[in-house]
A = this chain, B = another copy of it.
Amino acid sequence: MENAGKQIYQIAGELFPICRSITGDGVRQTLRILQKWVPQIKISEVPSGTKVFDWEIPKEWNITEGYIENSQGKRIIDFQENNLHIMGYSVPVDQYVTLEQLKAHLYTEPSQPDVIPYVTSYYRENFGFCMSERLKNSLPQDTYHMVIKSTLTPGSLTYGELVIPGESSEEIFFSTYICHPSMANNECSGPALAVWLARWLMRKQARRYTYRFVFVPETIGSICYLSRHKDELKERVIAGFNLSCVGDSLQYSIVESRYGNTLADRALKNILRSHCPQFRVYSFLKRGSDERQYNAPGIDLPVVSFCRSKYGEYPQYHTSADNMDFISPEGFQGSFEVMAKLIDLLENNRCYQVQVLCEPQLGRRGLYPAVSRKGQYDAVYGMTTLIAYADGTNDLIAISDRIGCAADLLIPVVKQLSDAGLLADAQEQKHPCSS
């Protein structure tokens, strides 16, 4: 577990240079890199024009070149240097223009004059160039040559999917997206963490739940996936997590589900509370990633987003400053540990019921100090309190929340008490008891 952060950082680095969009070869390249770590990832293609709920799979976009040249033939900006320079889904252009004409096609972020902003125009045919405000302001009167060599033609949308079976057909769901070009936290970090978590899960000896990972282009990809798998997801998924911006070291965040009360909300908040009490809770009013689709009315999946610094809330977001320096092995290590603890908690989350009436005699079982004296009582406090609330109406999360004791400290206690025959699962039914 200790080298996880370094490994995930390395995967993110491998994904970073690729020019991705919601369709095209960048997505396919990305998925092939992920397959190097988990060959079982299954890649699907959905043809342009396919109806997916209220949407339609757009034409496929690919790009080979893109630059602005001045009259001396010097390239002012070049796609080869930074793929953020070309607005996503730009149609081809090859045109000589004045500075004024050029400016109509330039996008900058005036409040951050040194960064290249990330801009797209998926659903209206358009083209554009992105650069720093400073560069734009330095451009002299001249004749400029705008060149974009791209194709926007019928093709397909590409996504990846992985199902890791467990004892139960109930699923824990992970979603992350693979449609952003060279930005590190948003979003090379999500796919990198996801693929590493999948590896870790596949190596576990036993899994109570089935795990499903999807690697999709944001919005259109999750809508597309849902249009094909909605019923099975609604039947099986008990908790889901959208992974986004999980590589920085600044904080931890959760974006809640629509009403903030699902098993996913409860489990992730429980873990973050003990792992990092200063974590931030964003309500669904602050949503912005694929949790929007998973929580849409009629879809109603119990999905939250897990982030370190939340998308849209850090200055580097959607700019060239979201680069490999903004994320770190330490940042990934923290995210991985939270996810690993979360999975352990979900795997052990049951509605326990104490198997004797009144308090059990712990001493007789070697679980209680035999000499009772002032102060010593605290030693078994966690154990007796867990038993006190093991009345079959509280799952482990509820007990941990109530006691204020980290779930990962309670899991071994549960095992000890279960081995002694004092605890049992109150129900072999579908969903955990409390909500």
Interface residues of A (CB under 8 A from B): 53-55, 87, 107, 109, 117-124, 126, 128, 219, 222-223, 226-227, 230, 258, 284-285, 287-288, 292-293, 295-300, 312, 317-319, 353-354, 356-361, 363-364, 370-374, 377, 384-385, 388-392, 402-403
Contact = CB atoms under 8 A, between A and B. Distances in A.
A121 B388 contact: no
A253 to B, nearest CB: 18
Contacts of A377: 288, 312
A299 B299 CA distance: 42
A374 B285 contact: no
B296 A117 contact: no
B295 A359 contact: no
A226 B258 contact: no
Given A123-B364, A370-B126, A388 B357 contact: no
Nearest to A368: B123
B118 A359 contact: no
Contact of A388 (B117, B120, B128, B296): B296
A297 B219 contact: no
Contacts of A296: 354, 357-359, 388
A223 B360 CA distance: 10
Contacts of A54: 356-361
Copies in the complex: 3
Nearest to A296: B358
B359 A292 contact: yes
A299 B120 CA distance: 60
Given A122-B372, A372-B121, A297 B361 contact: no
Contacts of A374: 109, 117-119, 317-319
Q: Which 7 pairs between the two chains have the least Cβ-Cβ distance? A: A297-B391, A124-B370, A54-B356, A119-B373, A223-B358, A123-B363, A53-B357
A285 B385 contact: yes
Contacts of A359: 54, 219, 223, 292-293, 296
A226 B119 contact: no
Q: Which of A296, A297, A319, A361 has the most chain B CB atoms inside 10 A of its CB?
A: A297
B123 A226 contact: no
Nearest to A109: B374
A219 B359 CA distance: 9
30 contacts: A53-B358, A55-B361, A109-B374, A117-B373, A119-B371, A119-B374, A120-B371, A120-B372, A121-B370, A121-B372, A124-B370, A124-B371, A126-B370, A219-B359, A284-B388, A285-B385, A285-B403, A287-B388, A288-B377, A296-B357, A296-B358, A297-B353, A297-B354, A297-B388, A297-B390, A297-B391, A297-B392, A299-B358, A300-B391, A318-B374
